[in-house]
C-alpha cells in the first residue's frame, strides 16, 4: 500500500525532523576561541577528533567566559570551555555544574601595565584609583584581578574594572588610555610586549609563577557542563572528553610550530613566529591527560573566598565541582 501525505502531515514531519536535528546538536561555548588558553577547543576540531565522535558538535565563541556561562545556563549550550572557578561560584549561587575535562593547571594570564602608567603601577598594591581591564565583569580575569588586589590590601571599591574583551579591543583600550593595566592572554600579551606598549606586572602563565602569586596550583581552562546534563548524557560526554584528552596528548607530544600549523591561518596572521614563541613558552600549562590537579580546587576556593561575596560563608562541596570519571576512562 502506498502511503500518501497531506500537506499538513508533511509539514508535521518536517517540524519533527528539525526538532530531532536540533536535539542532536551539542553546542559548546568557548570564552574566546582564539585565545591560546583555550587552544584545545579549536585544535580538537582541526585534528578531526570532534568529528570522530560521531556527534554534531558546534563550537561557538564568546569574548568572555562569563558570557559563555550565561549561554549555557539559558540552555543555549550544553557546555562551556572556560575557567574552572565558575563551577565553584555557580555552586555558591545554587547552580550545579562540573568540570569533565581539565585543560590547564595555570591561568595562562598576565596583568599588563601600560607604558603611560608603568611608573605609578609597580605591584597590585598600587591598584588604588586605577582602571583595570578585564574580559568581562564576572569573568575569571575579573576574579583574579579582585583577588590580587585584596591580597595586597586594596578593596574592590578602591579601583575600577572595565570590560574590554581581548585582542584588538584590549589593545585599543590600553592604547587610548581607557585602562591603566589589565589581565589578558596570549596572543594579546605578545602583541603588546613586542611594541613596548606594555610591561608585565603579574605573570600567571606557568605553574611555578602561579603558585608564587596565588599560593598553589590553579586549575583554569576546562570543559564544564551542567551536572544534570552530564548524568543523563554519559555516552555523549565520554565521546567529547575522549576527543579533548586526545588533543591534550597531541599538545604534549608535538612542538608549538607543529601545533600552529594545524590551527587556522588567521589565528597567527598578526605575527606567526610570535604566536609560535608564545605557545612554546606556555605550552606546559596544559595538562597531559585532562585530570584535575591534586589540591588545585582548594587553591581556587581559597582565591574566591578572598573576595567573592557569593562564595564567602557558603559551604562548597569541591567534589561536586569536577569529575575524573570520563578522563580516566580514555585509553
The string of pLDDT tens digits covering residues 250-274 is 999 999 999 999 999 998 877 899 9
pTM: 0.87
How many beta carbons lie within 10 A of that of residue 262, not counting itself?
13
Question: How many CA atoms are closer than 13 Å to the CA of 77, on its beta-carbon side?
Answer: 26
Has residue 213 been placed in a domain?
no
In a shared domain, residues 145 and 234: no
- pLDDT tens column, 128-161: 999 999 988 888 899 999 999 999 999 999 999 9
Structural domain including 295 reads 25-106+219-329
Q: Can you list the residues of the chain whose pLDDT is less than 70?
A: 1-23, 63-66
Which of 204, 232, 257 is the C-terminal boundary of a domain? Answer: 204
Residue 210 lies in a domain: no
pLDDT (0 to 100) of residue 6:
45
**Residue (of 301, 224, 179) closest to 65 by Cα position:** 224
User: Is 256 within a domain?
Assistant: yes
Q: Structurally, how many domains does the chain consist of?
A: 2
Rounded Cα gap, residues 298 and 122, in angstroms: 29
- Contact indicator for 214, 299 with CB cutoff of 8 Å: yes
Give the C-alpha separation, 236 to 79, whole Å: 12
Verify that 194 and 130 share a domain, yes or no.
yes
**Statement to judge: residues 192 and 270 lie in one domain:** no
* CA-to-CA separations, 243 to 77, 289, 321, in angstroms, rounded: 18, 11, 21
Amino acid at each position: 500500500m502506498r502511503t500518501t501525505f497531506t500537506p499538513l502531515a508533511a509539514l508535521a514531519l518536517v517540524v519533527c525532523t528539525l526538532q530531532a536535528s536540533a536535539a542532536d546538536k551539542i553546542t559548546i561555548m568557548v570564552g574566546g576561541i582564539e585565545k591560546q588558553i583555550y587552544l584545545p577547543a579549536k585544535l580538537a576540531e582541526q585534528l578531526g577528533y570532534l568529528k570522530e565522535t560521531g556527534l554534531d558538535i558546534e563550537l561557538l565563541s564568546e569574548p568572555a567566559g562569563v558570557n559563555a556561562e550565561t549561554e549555557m545556563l539559558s540552555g543555549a549550550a550544553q557546555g562551556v570551555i572556560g575557567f574552572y572557578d565558575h563551577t565553584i561560584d555557580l555552586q555558591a549561587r545554587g547552580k550545579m555544574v562540573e568540570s569533565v575535562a581539565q585543560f590547564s593547571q595555570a591561568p595562562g594570564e598576565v596583568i599588563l601595565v601600560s607604558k603611560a602608567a608603568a611608573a605609578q603601577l609597580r605591584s597590585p598594591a598600587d591598584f588604588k584609583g586605577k582602571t583595570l581591564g578585564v574580559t568581562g565583569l564576572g569573568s575569571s580575569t575579573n576574579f583574579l584581578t579582585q583577588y590580587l588586589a585584596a591580597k595586597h590590601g586594596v578593596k574592590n571599591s578602591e579601583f575600577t574594572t572595565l570590560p574590554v574583551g581581548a585582542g584588538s579591543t584590549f589593545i585599543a583600550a590600553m592604547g587610548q588610555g581607557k585602562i591603566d593595566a589589565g589581565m589578558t592572554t596570549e596572543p594579546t600579551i605578545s602583541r603588546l610586549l613586542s611594541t613596548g606598549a606594555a610591561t608585565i606586572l603579574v605573570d600567571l602563565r606557568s605553574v611555578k609563577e602561579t603558585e608564587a602569586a596565588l599560593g598553589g596550583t590553579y586549575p583554569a581552562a576546562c570543559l564544564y557542563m551542567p551536572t544534570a546534563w552530564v548524568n543523563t548524557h554519559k555516552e555523549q560526554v565520554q565521546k567529547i572528553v575522549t576527543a579533548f584528552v586526545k588533543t591534550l596528548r597531541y599538545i604534549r607530544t608535538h612542538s608549538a610550530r607543529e601545533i600552529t600549523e594545524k590551527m587556522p591561518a588567521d589565528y597567527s596572521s598578526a605575527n606567526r613566529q610570535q604566536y609560535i614563541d608564545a605557545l612554546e613558552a606556555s605550552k606546559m600549562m596544559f595538562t597531559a591527560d585532562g585530570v584535575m590537579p591534586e589540591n588545585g580546587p582548594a587553591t581556587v576556593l581559597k582565591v574566591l573566598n578572598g573576595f567573592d561575596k557569593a562564595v564567602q560563608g557558603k559551604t562548597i562541596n569541591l567534589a561536586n565541582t569536577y569529575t575524573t570519571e570520563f578522563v580516566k576512562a580514555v585509553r
